[in-house]
Structure 1
Amino acid sequence: MFISPAFAQAAAGGDTQSTLMSMLPLVLMFGVLYFVMIRPQMRKQKEHKAMIEALAKGDEVVTAGGLLGKVSKIGDSHIGVEIATGVEVQLQRSAVVQVLPKGSLK
């Protein structure tokens, strides 16, 4: 009634190429986001998991809280870390941030 038949016909047909071109920036942004943020984070998580699984008794470690110590006990989900002579704390394996080279602690 208020819309002429020519306008209604043009709106119904649509332009496939313009629709694809309007989606292109969104797809490109997702691709950049994946390669800049998601992929490096997944690689870092995989490396951390491998490091935690490879922990052995006698390794010198740094914890998330900043404690430096030597691994004295190993369990499934917890480890014992000796931070001073006769002082041992129990930590979750995931709290280990870094394994230091042998002889770092003196």
Structure 2
Amino acid sequence: MIVVLFAVMYFLMIRPQRKQQQKRRDQLSKIKEGDQVITIGRLHGVVDEINEAEKTVTLDCDGIYLVFDLSAIASVKQPAVAAPAANNDTTTTANDDHKDDAASSKGDQDATEDSDTKDETKSEDK
């Protein structure tokens, strides 16, 4: 019975934790200069230098160079994927739609101003 309990505990607690630790070690070992990273303090920067001997990393944060322990890196940002060139036509169409919306809202505004003027004229006639 106790053996079964330890086996369940191993598969539910210890094994997932080891997998997570291995994934983190792999992530830290793959960091290279030029990667955008986020520290555990949520500071965003670009890796400028990695010192394997001291296990430190130098980050460029908008021209300010800061040295962190390698373990202070929380995550590596994934580079943004460039949009395909075929999507440029849809962008233009979306902008045209906004122009139509702006024109219709201007027309609505003019109609509101006209109704206000009519109301003022009616009140003056009375």
TM-score, normalised via structure 2 length: 0.59
Give 1:83's aligned residue: 61
Q: Do structure 1's residue 70 and structure 2's residue 46 form an aligned pair? A: yes
Give 2:78's aligned residue: 101
Give 1:59's aligned residue: 35
Of 10, 13, 17, the residue aligned with 1:34 is 10
Higher helix content, 1 or 2:
2
Higher strand content, 1 or 2:
1
Deviation at 1:41, TM superposition (A): 0.5
Q: How many residues align?
A: 79
CA distance in structure 2 between the aligned counterparts of 1:36 and 1:97, rounded to whole angstroms: 24
Unaligned runs of 5+ in 1: 1-23
- Report runs of 4+ in structure 1 exceeding 2 Å deviation: none
Q: Return the index of the structure with the highest Cα Rg.
A: 2
Render the CA deviation track for 1:67-103: whole Å, top value 9, x for unaligned.
111101111111101122x111100111111111125
Deviation at 1:44, TM superposition (A): 0.6
Q: What secondary structure is seen at the aligned counterpart in 2 of 1:101?
A: coil
CA distance in structure 1 between the aligned counterparts of 2:30 and 2:44, rounded to whole angstroms: 18
Unaligned runs of 5+ in 2: 81-126
Q: What is the root-mean-square deviation of aligned Cα atoms in Å?
A: 1.5
Render the CA deviation track for 1:17-67: whole Å, top value 9, x for unaligned.
xxxxxxx1x212111110111000000111111111111001011111111
CA distance in structure 2 between the aligned counterparts of 1:100 and 1:39, rounded to whole angstroms: 27
Identity %: 31
Q: Return the structure number with greater relative CO, CA threshold 8 A, min gap 6.
A: 1
